[in-house]
Amino acid sequence: MRTIDLATTPLRELNEALHRQKDGANEDNWEVLNPRGSHAVAVGVDAPINLDVKGSVGYYCGGMNKKATITVHGSAGPGVAENMMSGKVTIKGDASQYAGATGRGGLLVIEGNASSRCGISMKGIDIVVKGNIGHMSAFMAQSGHLVVLGDAGDALGDSIYEAKLFVRGKVKSLGADCIEKEMRPEHHEELAKLLESAGFKDVKTNEFKRYGSARKLYNFNIDNADAY
């Protein structure tokens, strides 16, 4: 394992070293000490490596991640795993606003709570939150899955497209064009796989409700003008 201490090594050197890693690289396991809330830790990694960050991080940790497995043993600031492509990012603590924003693939797991706009404009990423999420989460979510084991704040799924939302707790309110939908057998199967991938395989899928698009905002309709 390669260990880098950010108390003595500049963050730029860490990210440059991570960017040099490619498929088949012999430095597969990394450990980062003393992140102390640093911004942009492990941004743009493009290799199937394992990275453990021992502490909390600031903005955009794991942004644009591709292939890597990143675990933050603490909390994360805004934009964690923003525009993630593949791989897995796990936050052991809480995540600030717009976690997983615009993510195109991979799995983001937040073991604490997530703040507002979690999964905003998600485009294929899967996000599993053990705790609660804040208002305007999954705003304009295009595809992928958002799974919440706790509660959801106001305006969940506002202007949603085809992303699928599963919430076990209470939803304070639904956003424009977001409605509750039937949980069919295929949705239970999808949800079970997501929960298992996130490490929550003992959670029962029948405790969740599914939400998605009513498909009334795809094209302008004068009868729905008040909803725009």
CATH topology of domain 2-227: Pectate Lyase C-like (2.160.20)
User: What is the dihedral angle through the alpha carbons of 181, 182, 188, 190, rounded to the nearest 10 degrees?
Assistant: -40
Question: What confidence tens digit (pLDDT) does each residue in 197-214 have?
Answer: 999 999 999 999 999 999
Q: What is the pTM of this model?
A: 0.95
Domain coordinates in residue numbering, the chain: 2-227
Question: What confidence tens digit (pLDDT) does each residue in 109-155 have?
Answer: 999 999 999 999 999 999 999 999 999 999 999 999 999 999 999 99
